[in-house]
Amino acid sequence: MRPPTDAADVVLACGEVRTGLLPSFQPLDSRAAAHLLQLRADERVRVSERPQLYALSPDTLTGVDCRLPAVDGAKVRVVGTVAARAVLTEGRVLQATAYFGAPASGPDRRQPWGHYLVRPGLLEPFGKLPEQAVAKGVLRGPQKGDLDLGLIAEGLLGQLRRHPLLDQNAPFKSAGTRLRWVARRAPDGEGPSITRFTLAEDQLRTVELRIPAAQEASAVAGLCEDLALHDWLLTTVVRMLDTSRLGAVGGAAAVLALRPAVDHLLHLWMPTARVDRTLSPLWEVLEREPGFSRQWQTSVQRIRDQLALQAIPLLREALASR
């Protein structure tokens, strides 16, 4: 679904991604994943199995007539629809995203709902859009009466987590993460860039992007879902290492604490596997600062070293019994 408004008219795209472990002891196969994410009867779930199992739901739309967050106190009223969708990776990690795009200006008067419904995922302001103030407001978080993208994403995530297909028995405990993102139009002739990425408290991350004029908000949402997925993987594995108390407890106990990472997470690390090709170079920025893959590889090596250390006594015992 693409709005009649050209993508080049969108000067600001904003969204929030919620990421967490699927409450199911066994990962879902492709058929079950498609059943879980069938949010609409008129559009199919997109499922692919290479290079890893990936399922993307169709968009659902939420009609809104409200204010956008703005740091300068401006009361920016918008009308339109917020798009929301869900992603399941390897039948194990569930994500929900709510996002929208906005043009530089909109009509001075409210239009009939039919005008907005044929522009899915687009919010039109009354008059001119104060881009910078709104971008900073979205990253700061909504105030009373403002549009809350996180609430929409969390509602979808909660709906899916309560699906009768799931046994509510996750194989290990983990915390969810939140990623708020804004993307503003890059100057003519410039490619995409990341201007800011932060790790805040309460599992909140924020990222500010610059994107080419013709880039659709749905593609930016895909990039941010990929970023949120890998941030959650890294955060979860690092927490497992911290709580395993390597060197302070018996080796068997440490191995037991780290086993969920080996069984369920280590094979999921595939940055940009499904990111739009024009946006995939942005991952290189994250490799330089804060260095996602370096920290991931260091964590994985620590886990493998610990497993190897525990295997040595077992191997000696087996050889001695011959």
| % of residues, the chain, pLDDT over 90 | 67
Euclidean distance between CA atoms 33 and 88, whole angstroms = 7
DSSP state, residue 8: G
2 pLDDT band, cuts 50/70/90, is very low
DSSP structure string for 240-300: HHHHHTTTTS-HHHHHHHHHHIIIIIGGG--TTTTS-TTTTTHHHHHHHTT-HHHHHHHHH
Instruction: Could you list the beta-strand ranges (E) of 2-92.
Output: 10-21, 46-48, 54-56, 60-68, 76-89
Q: What's residue 184's pLDDT?
A: 94
Question: Which pLDDT does position 320 carry in this prediction?
Answer: 65
Quick: pLDDT tens for 8-42: 589 999 999 999 999 999 999 999 999 999 999 99
In degrees and rounded to multiples of 5, residue 133 shows phi and psi of -65, -40
Given a contact cutoff of 8 angstroms between Cβ atoms, the answer to whether 81 and 117 are in contact is yes
In this prediction, residues 211-224 reach a mean pLDDT of: 90
138 or 286: whose pLDDT is higher? Answer: 138
Please give the structure tokens belonging to residue 31: 């058929």
The 10 Å Cβ neighbour count of residue 213 is: 14
Does 3 score more than 80 pLDDT?
no
Beta bridge partners of 55: 47, 88
Q: Provide the 10 A C-beta neighbour count for residue 193.
A: 13
Query: Which pLDDT does position 257 carry in this prediction?
Result: 78
Q: What is the pLDDT of residue 135?
A: 96
Q: What is the mean pLDDT of residues 156-174?
A: 96
Q: Answer whether residue 4 shows pLDDT above 50.
A: no
Range of weakest confidence among 23-37, 150-164, 258-272, 302-316: 302-316
**Average pLDDT value over all residues in the chain:** 89
In the chain, what is the greatest distance between 2 CA atoms, to the nearest angstrom? 87
State pTM to two decimals.
0.91
Percentage of the chain modeled with pLDDT above 70: 91
Residue pair 307/262 in contact by the 8 Å Cβ criterion:
yes
Q: Which pLDDT score is estimated for 314?
A: 52
pLDDT of residue 175: 94
